Amino acid sequence: MIHISDSDVYDVTIIGGGPAGLFSAFYSGLREMKTKIIEYHPFLGGKVNVYPEKIVWDIGAMPPLPGQQVVENMVEQGLTFDPKVVLNEEVVCIDKNETGLFIVKAASGNIHYSKTIIVAVGGGILNPKRLPLPNAIDFEETNLHYSVKNLKQFKNKRVLISGGGNSATDWAKELSGIAKEVYIACRSDFSCHESQITYLKNNSVVCFTQTQITELVANDAGDCIEKVAITNRESGVVQYIPIDDVIVNHGYDRDKSLLENSPLDIQISDNYFISGSSSSESSIPGLFAAGDILHHDGKLHLIAGAFQDAANAVNQAKLYLEPEATKTAMVSSHNEKLYKRNEKIVADLLNE
């Protein structure tokens, strides 16, 4: 048997450093649990990092903020109680040893030991779905984009967006006041919030439904897209639109290997998420889930829902370790460390 030092064992290891993972780390700190976060990317914040300028509205009692500010706030809160953070670490397998200790194996060869696990990987490692045209890759370094890092780069430009979900229509809405012309092409009908469709129709965005990009026409140098051919899937009519930039948002391909490679009998839903309870429990005692990776009948796929999942997961992990512990944590402001911070915040406000 391999000797495992107590210093190497954590009360809870959180796989994923997005909204659910960061709030899990904060809440486990409140509950005085020795905590580790393992994150695949070299940064924390999860998929919110993909939309740094997108305005986030769905976190209660917080004013709408751009994604980058939301990430900074979440990271600051998540690190309040100094959890161990491991970045650039891809978890490939979760198992248990003969003593019931969880063994978390990484692609690097590292092994992490934990008494409980919270899986908070969102939809798993996400890669944007590429435009399925043979020459699309030729323009990824110039004017074909799969994310929007800076809206100002599209000022006074002609932009075509491919996609019909909330992210694509959000970008169309934001760019309508910045770009010279905005077009949005959707393969079927829009699948976004009703208010988004109303906004697009009442503003200068030109909308095409049942339409897809069928050709990218390069400039004379061959390094930039000059025109885009869009084809109506019902009529077959083709239009060529002169553009300066193309933005593609067709969703993401999920890497499901973590759940596939783990020998534990984790119950999985039809769409390959962890089937659990509304209290964030999985089919494996001691293993919990939070955020988009968790599936149950009352699931809320909002950041606010991820926060609730996280608190539930931590509470269940605490009870798993200490059955006599209280079922929930105290109100955050009652924690001594946070209370002192609150005193400073109040004092600073009074001195303004």
From the CA atom positions of the chain, what is the Rg in Å?
Answer: 23
Q: Tell me the C-alpha to C-alpha distance, in Å, between residue 208 and each of 30, 84, 137, 148, 240.
A: 50, 48, 24, 21, 13
Distance, in Å, from the CA atom of 127 to the CA atom of 50, rounded to the nearest integer, reads 11
Please report, in range form, the residues annotated as the binding site for FAD. 39, 47, 51, 91, 126, 292, 333
Encoded amino acid at 182, one letter? V
Q: Are strands 211-218 and 225-232 parallel, antiparallel or unpaired?
A: antiparallel
Closest C-alpha among 133, 145, 136, 318 to residue 231: 133
Please report, in range form, the residues annotated as the binding site. 39, 47, 51, 91, 126, 292, 333
In which element (H, E) is residue 76 found?
A: helix 67-78
Q: What beta strand segments (E) does 200-297 contain?
A: 206-208, 211-218, 225-232, 238-242, 245-248, 252-255, 274-275, 287-289, 294-295
Distance, in Å, from the CA atom of 251 to the CA atom of 253, rounded to the nearest integer, reads 7
Residue 285 CA neighbour count, 13 Å, CB half? 5
In which element (H, E) is residue 287 found?
A: strand 287-289
